[in-house]
Amino acid sequence: MAFRPKVSDRAGLPPVSLRSGEVHPHAPLLSPTNAWRILHRRTGGHISRSTFYRWLDSGKVYSLRIGCRMYVPWQVLQDVISRCMSGEPF
């Protein structure tokens, strides 16, 4: 029988306290296309795809590069949606 390490989730651990602007280390990651689709639906279609990608390229929206792929953390997308819905400028 092969040795299998015990896999545990964070359910039993206390929540990690983060400072403002920090991304949770276990936040789900979305591809830019999926992130834009969610943003587009939740804001009523007011943000174009090219605008979202421009924000990613300029660093206005935080993204991660893992290898050659780019990801947007879910928490960051929620912040972008709330800023768009409140009318805050980017």
Q: What is the pLDDT of residue 6?
A: 47
Whole-structure pTM value: 0.70
Distance from C-alpha of 49 to C-alpha of 47, rounded to nearest angstrom: 7
62, 20 contact by CB (below 8 A): no
User: Confidence band (pLDDT; 50, 70, 90) for 3?
Assistant: low
Q: What type of residue sits at position 64?
A: L
Q: What is the pLDDT of residue 90?
A: 73
Q: What is the pLDDT of residue 82?
A: 93
Q: Please give the structure tokens belonging to residue 84.
A: 């768009």
Reported as a single tens digit per residue, the pLDDT across 13-70 is: 445 445 555 666 677 999 999 999 999 999 998 899 999 999 999 999 999 999 999 9
Helix (H) or strand (E) holding 33: helix 32-42
Q: E strands within the chain?
A: 29-30, 64-66, 69-73
